[in-house]
């Protein structure tokens, strides 16, 4: 299979997997927010966010490194899988136990504490699922991940809708959520019996050299998650559950906005890593194309979050229910833009064996984010937290530029990639708060204008013709 065909196939299944996961989670969280109110929504999301932080400790870089290790050592795949899975069991158990201990001393409400205890099991089950999902990716069997995601998220969505309409306890909703993760883990184990070869499995420890490499990826995963999650935890501790609910209502929309970025990263990274060593010219072309794609898509998505936040929030959460989140939405529209504009820098550092430099940037950013939020949240609340989030993401992007000469060059290779940004700024000034046209006219008008601008200035004639097929010669 050619590179273009492989990427197109992987991207399709990655898109389906992310869409299924985000669609289910989005409507589950929206349903909780609408049916149970901001306070219960804040309690649920605070517990879920804490479990995500401990999940990164359970994963600790094994999953990402698994993809590259198997790609480079197909003949030793079984040994690699068994060693990594052995360490996965140890870390997942440790992370689950540690979350239980932390929850017992966390200064939160009784309901939030109970939810945190329940979500500690989410750490264990989700960690196992992630391992097998990355195993599928290492063999480029993205369809397996899509299949399992569909089964467990369809079950989640249906059961939460039914029990949510019956308005059962939020604790039961959390139990259903965690039960679907157990279901996914069981199906994943069954689906990987040919790849894993369970009959020959024996517990083994990774080598010292492997562990040092894992530490780099693991620490990046931990600090990267803390970087983008600590604000929610601090708001829960320093403010109240209602403020967490308002803040998370925007975070969920922002997560949906990052969908296309996640899809590209998951689809491109295996090929990008492989070509760095084997074909540097192709690596550079693929990285350059990825950067341009991310800049253009980021401009498109962030525009609507910044210019039409009220309409998006009312459409999703209901009229006049989360109006206080509108200014937060605008700031996170800027955050989305920065994330898209800088993501290629992270891809370049990871694929070129410079993950340590990426780790340094994220550690410094995390320390700044934590310190700034401690000082800001008690005074300015969620507005201060959102500003700190924007500053932190800007710092990360600048850090990637500092460490990657290749990434710096890409910002000046094709100046036409900035034309859609300029057009978006002009339209934003014209349509801000329905200034020039009614909002229901300005939204579709803006959509068409920005889309056509991206299509005809972001890509040349040949690229436009090949964009759908994405042939190797164009990468």
pLDDT at 110 over 50: yes
Instruction: Specify whether 239 is located in the same domain as 353.
Output: yes
Does the pLDDT of residue 470 top 50, yes or no?
A: no
Asked if residue 145 and residue 246 are part of one domain, the reply reads: no
Residue 211 falls inside a structural domain: no
Q: Does one domain contain both 107 and 161?
A: yes
Same domain? For 193 and 240 the reply is: no
**Residue 249 sits in the same domain as residue 289:** yes
Most confident segment among 65-79, 282-296, 383-397: 383-397
Place of tokens 């609340």: 381
Asked if the structure places residue 222 within a domain, the reply is no
Contact 263, 10 (CB under 8 A): no
Percent of the chain with pLDDT over 70: 87
When divided into structural domains, the chain yields a total of: 2
Stated length of the chain: 475
DSSP state of 74: G
Query: What pLDDT is stored for residue 363 in this prediction?
Result: 93
Is there a domain that residue 382 lies in?
A: yes
Asked, for residue 217, whether it belongs to a domain, the answer is no
Out of 190, 206, 222, a domain closes at 206
For residue 227, is it within any domain?
no
Q: Residue 420: is its pLDDT beyond 80?
A: yes
Q: How far is the C-alpha of 137 from the C-alpha of 144, rounded, in Å? A: 9
User: Is residue 223 assigned to a domain?
Assistant: no
With 70 as the cut, is the pLDDT of residue 467 above it? no
Distance between CA 26 and CA 197 in Å, rounded?
36
Residues 172 and 292 in one domain: no
Do 66 and 142 share a structural domain? yes
- The pLDDT tens digits for 356-389 are 899 999 999 999 999 999 999 999 999 999 999 9
Domain extent at residue 423: 232-475
Residue 266 lies in a domain: yes
CB atoms within 10 A of CB 35: 17
pLDDT digits (tens, 9 = 90+) for 232-261: 888 888 888 888 888 988 988 888 888 878
User: Do 184 and 129 form a contact (C-beta atoms < 8 A)?
Assistant: yes
- Cα distances (angstroms) measured from residue 4 to each of 268, 294, 330: 10, 18, 36
49 and 121 fall within a common domain: yes
* Cα–Cα nearest to 137, from 9, 255, 286, 42: 9
Average pLDDT of the segment spanning 180-194 = 86
Question: At 418, phi and psi to the nearest 5?
Answer: -95, -10
436 and 333 inside one domain: yes
Residues 273 and 185 in one domain: no
Q: Which residues of 62-86 are buried (b: 16+ CB within 10 A; e: fewer)?
A: bbbbbbbbbbeeeeebeebbbbbbb
Both 262 and 130 in one domain: the answer is: no
Residue 276 lies in a domain: yes
User: Is residue 95 a contact partner of residue 162, using CB atoms and an 8 Å limit?
Assistant: no
- Give the separation between CA 244 and CA 250, rounded to whole angstroms: 10
CA distances from 151 to 21, 25, 26 (A): 10, 13, 16
Q: With a cut of 70, say whether residue 433 has pLDDT above it.
A: no
Longest alpha-carbon distance in the chain: 69
Q: What are the E-state strand segments in 295-351?
A: none
**What is the percent of the chain with per-residue pLDDT over 90, rounded to a whole number?**
23
Residues 198-241 pLDDT 10s: 666 677 676 667 677 777 877 887 788 788 778 888 888 888 88
User: Same structural domain for residues 236 and 369?
Assistant: yes
Residue 97 pLDDT > 60:
yes
């Amino acid at each position: 299979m050619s590179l273009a065909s492989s990427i197109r196939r992987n991207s399709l299944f990655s898109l389906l997997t992310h869409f299924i996961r985000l669609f289910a989670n989005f409507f589950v969280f929206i349903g909780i927010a609408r049916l149970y109110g901001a306070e219960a929504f804040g309690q649920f999301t605070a517990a879920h966010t804490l479990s995500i932080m401990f999940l990164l400790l359970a994963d600790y870089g094994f999953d990402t490194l698994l993809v590259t290790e198997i790609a480079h050592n197909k003949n030793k795949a079984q040994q690699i899988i068994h060693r990594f899975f052995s360490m996965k069991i140890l870390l997942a158990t440790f992370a689950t136990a540690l979350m239980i201990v932390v929850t017992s001393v966390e200064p939160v409400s009784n309901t939030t504490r109970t939810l945190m205890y329940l979500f500690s099991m989410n750490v264990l089950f989700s960690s196992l699922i992630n391992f097998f999902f990355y195993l599928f990716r290492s063999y480029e069997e993205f369809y397996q991940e899509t299949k399992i995601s569909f089964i467990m998220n369809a079950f989640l969505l249906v059961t939460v809708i039914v029990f949510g309409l019956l308005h059962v306890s939020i604790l039961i909703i959390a139990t259903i959520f965690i039960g679907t993760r157990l279901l996914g883990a069981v199906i994943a184990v069954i689906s990987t019996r040919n790849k894993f070869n369970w009959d020959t499995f024996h517990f083994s420890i990774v080598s010292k050299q492997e562990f040092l490499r894992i530490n780099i990826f693991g620490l990046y995963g931990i600090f990267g998650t803390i970087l983008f999650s600590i604000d929610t935890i601090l708001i829960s501790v320093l403010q109240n559950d209602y403020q967490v609910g308002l803040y998370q209502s925007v975070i969920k929309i922002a997560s949906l906005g990052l969908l296309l970025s996640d899809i590209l990263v998951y689809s491109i990274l295996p090929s990008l890593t492989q070509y760095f060593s084997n074909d540097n010219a192709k690596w550079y072309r693929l990285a350059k194309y990825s950067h341009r794609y991310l800049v253009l898509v980021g401009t498109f998505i962030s525009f609507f979050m910044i210019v039409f936040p009220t309409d998006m929030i009312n459409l999703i959460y209901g009229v006049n229910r989360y109006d206080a989140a509108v200014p937060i939405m605008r700031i996170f529209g800027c955050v989305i833009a920065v994330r898209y504009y800088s993501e290629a820098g992270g891809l370049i550092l990871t694929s070129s064996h410079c993950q340590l430099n990426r780790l340094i940037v994220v550690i410094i950013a995390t320390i700044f984010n934590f310190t700034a939020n401690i000082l800001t949240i008690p005074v300015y609340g969620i507005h201060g937290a959102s500003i700190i989030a924007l500053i932190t993401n800007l710092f990360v992007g600048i850090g990637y530029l500092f460490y990657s000469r290749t990434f710096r060059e890409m910002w000046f290779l094709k100046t036409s990639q900035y034309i859609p940004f300029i057009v978006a700024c002009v339209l934003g000034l014209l349509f801000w708060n329905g200034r020039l046209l009614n909002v229901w006219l300005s939204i579709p008008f803006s959509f068409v204008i920005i889309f056509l601008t991206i299509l005809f200035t972001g890509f040349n004639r040949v690229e436009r013709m090949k964009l759908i097929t994405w042939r190797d010669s164009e990468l």
